[in-house]
Chains A and B, each alone.
Chain A
Amino acid sequence: MSAVTEVITKIKATNDQLHSFREVFEQPEEGNGVGLLQGLPIAIKDNICTKEGHTTAGSQILKNYQAPYEATVISRVKDAGAVIVGKTNLDEFAMGSSGEYSSFEQPRNPWDVTRIPGGSSAGSAVAVAGNQVPLALGTDTGGSIRQPAAMCGVVGVKPTYGRVSRFGAIAYGSSLDQVGPFAKTVKDAARLLQVIAGPDARDATTSPQPVPDYLAACGQDIVGLKIGVPIEFFGDGIDPDIAKVVRQALDDLKEQGAELKEISLPLTSAAVAVYFLIAKAEGSSNLARYDGLRYGTSPVEDADLLQHYLQTRGTLLGPEVKRTLLMGAYALAAGHIDAWYKQASQVRTLIRRQYEQAFQHLDVIAGPTSPEVAWKFGAKADDPLAMYLADALTVPMSVAGLPALSLPCGFSQDLPVGLQLTATHFAEDKLFQLAHAYEQSHDWHQQIPPNASQ
């Protein structure tokens, strides 16, 4: 247990500055499992239910919530020997791209504490980047693992829709959400996905497809692997310096034997609208259950039922969650549903087909994870559209249900830049193969942020 005690001491020494953890488990349950994660400390995004501690989803409405059951991914990491050391901060209900929408403390980027860490799995990315823990779990609906991984300089994976059980993960967009790993290295991310992937009788959307050996994929050579490079991923709205760093990474992969092929995915620019219309519609429906009656909390005393609902939700939900409820209800309302929700769903089919066609001739599609590096706190505070557009390069894969991985590939303005790799459904092994080959020929993963734990 001494390794774990050491980790908890490290977390406590740095958490006042980084605010990555919302809750630290002082005396974590000793791992009783034997497996791939033997003795490894792991941090859990606070929208994944654990029996230990609280599960708040970053929201005041669940401030006191103690889940009566644990998520399947939690049982699996415990069975593999991991030790859960705490719950990490996030944008409220995983809605946000900066971490600033947490209703608790503001998680900070360990590379520059005046900047956002990205979101929504902000605390999980910071905990790994800041050397507090070697592993963390996050959730990714439209980029919530990949984007903070890119901004904090760590590896983050959004698995294929259906690869990992969501049982016990608090729902945002049910046709999009996936749980996935954060780690310092590609191999550690592969190890964690290996443990959590696979069918679960408690989540009917999990796939029975066999789980490949992800660890074996790390170390296979990449000669002849075909990488598609969409021109749209380097176009308008992408910081030219990020484009340069990512182009260099792609040239390095070519040097290692991969084949680069320029392609076009013309519907890329439609993905932000499609994603947010669908995610907000699903989110508005999923969040109907938070009423402060059966669990959670409510400031309302002795009001009738309607007043109780109105006041509890009006008082305890934050700005982006309120926007979700309004936009989602609007897009689904009679008179609006055809023009907004249904049209978005039809364009979603077209985006999927575009990727299916592209993957007939390609192994992987590559580009930047984020159009910009971590921005200063408050820079997009009153501009939700700008915040949404920051997800432009991660939402297309979410809409198509594809697996995608972000790994560090250099720096711009002394801040980390992420390379995003996407494969066809259930081909996470290809992502690990390529990412590991790139990682091992560079030293980005050994760079330590100035505000990391020593």
Chain B
Amino acid sequence: MASAKLNKEEISKIAYLSRLQLTDQEIEAAAGHLSEILGHFSAIQDIDTAGIPTADAASDLKNVTRPDTANATDLADPAAVLASAPKVNNDQIQVPAIF
């Protein structure tokens, strides 16, 4: 059974993986809250689920397909897209370099 206790190092690690900068105060509060919440939730680990499938499909639908055709009404107006971008340069969205 997984432990429900989270320490500050574990919170810092998952915060970094989630690309989330937290203050020391937030890390400390999160360690307390998540330990309490998961401590409460750990009761479900006592439920016998041997041989029970996971509920991966939220409905009975299977293999939903559509014809692979371009549809002009599915396209957003480029001006509207650019208007919502924080930084625009020469009609292109400007982002920091990846490398």
Nearest chain A CB to B85 CB, angstrom units: 6
Chain A contacts for B96, CB-based, 8 A: 293, 303-305, 308
Q: Which of B36, B49, B61, B85 contacts A162 (CB 8 A)?
A: B61
Q: Tell me whether A326 and B95 are in contact in the complex, defined as CB-CB below 8 angstroms, given that A314-B22, A339-B1, A347-B49 are known contacts.
A: no
Chain B contacts for A305, CB-based, 8 A: 95-98
Are B83's CB and A339's CB within 8 A? no
Chain B contacts for A313, CB-based, 8 A: 18-21
Q: Is B9 an interface residue (CB 8 A)?
A: no
Q: Is A375 an interface residue (CB 8 A)?
A: no
Chain A contacts for B76, CB-based, 8 A: 68-69
Chain A contacts for B34, CB-based, 8 A: 323, 326-327, 330
Chain B contacts for A333, CB-based, 8 A: 14, 17
Chain A contacts for B95, CB-based, 8 A: 293-294, 305
Q: Is A18 an interface residue (CB 8 A)?
A: no
* CA distance in complex: A201, B68 (Å): 12
Interface size class of B (residues with CB under 8 A): 35 or more
Q: Which of B19, B45, B61, B93 contacts A310 (CB 8 A)?
A: B19
Q: Is B54 an interface residue (CB 8 A)?
A: yes
Q: Which of B30-66 contact A (CB under 8 A)?
A: 30, 33-34, 36-38, 40-41, 43-45, 47, 49, 52-56, 58-59, 61, 64, 66
Chain A contacts for B58, CB-based, 8 A: 161-162, 174-176, 205, 401
Are A339's CB and B86's CB within 8 A? no
Interface size class of A (residues with CB under 8 A): 35 or more
Tally of A-B Cβ pairs under 8 angstroms: 166
Q: Is A2 an interface residue (CB 8 A)?
A: no
Q: Is B80 an interface residue (CB 8 A)?
A: yes
* CA distance in complex: A314, B19 (Å): 8
Nearest chain B CB to A329 CB, angstrom units: 5
Q: Which of A192-236 contact B (CB under 8 A)?
A: 201-202, 204-205, 207
Chain B contacts for A438, CB-based, 8 A: none
Nearest chain A CB to B45 CB, angstrom units: 6
Q: Is B77 an interface residue (CB 8 A)?
A: yes
Q: Is A273 an interface residue (CB 8 A)?
A: yes
Q: Tell me whether A343 and B21 are in contact in the complex, defined as CB-CB below 8 angstroms, given that A69-B76, A162-B59, A204-B61 are known contacts.
A: no
In the complex, per-residue mask of A77-109: 1 if CB is within 8 Å of any chain B CB, else 0: 000000000000000000000000000000000
Closest to B16 in A: A310
Most A CB contacts (10 A, CB to CB) among B22, B26, B47 go to: B47
Q: Which of A3-11, A254-262, A348-356 forms contacts with chain B?
A: A348-356
Q: Which of A273, A325, A329, A345 contacts B41 (CB 8 A)?
A: A273
Chain A contacts for B15, CB-based, 8 A: 325-326
Are B36's CB and A385's CB within 8 A? yes
Q: Is B89 an interface residue (CB 8 A)?
A: no
B residues contacting A by CB (< 8 A) are 1-2, 6, 10-11, 14-22, 26, 30, 33-34, 36-38, 40-41, 43-45, 47, 49, 52-56, 58-59, 61, 64, 66, 74, 76-77, 80-81, 83-86, 93, 95-98
20 pairs, CB–CB < 8 Å, chain A vs chain B:
A67-B84, A68-B76, A270-B44, A273-B40, A276-B37, A288-B19, A293-B95, A293-B96, A294-B85, A313-B19, A315-B21, A326-B11, A339-B45, A340-B41, A346-B53, A348-B55, A349-B54, A388-B37, A401-B58, A401-B59
Query: Nearest 3 pairs between A and B by C-beta?
Result: A314-B21, A339-B2, A68-B80
Task: Beyond A161-B59, A276-B37, list 20 extra A-B contacts (CB 8 Å).
Answer: A68-B83, A175-B55, A175-B58, A176-B58, A204-B61, A277-B41, A277-B44, A293-B96, A294-B85, A305-B97, A310-B21, A314-B20, A314-B21, A327-B34, A339-B45, A348-B54, A349-B55, A384-B37, A385-B37, A401-B58
A residues contacting B by CB (< 8 A) are 51, 64-69, 161-162, 174-176, 201-202, 204-205, 207, 267, 269-270, 272-274, 276-277, 284, 288, 291-298, 303-306, 308-311, 313-315, 317, 322-323, 325-327, 329-330, 333, 335-336, 339-340, 342-350, 352, 384-385, 388, 401
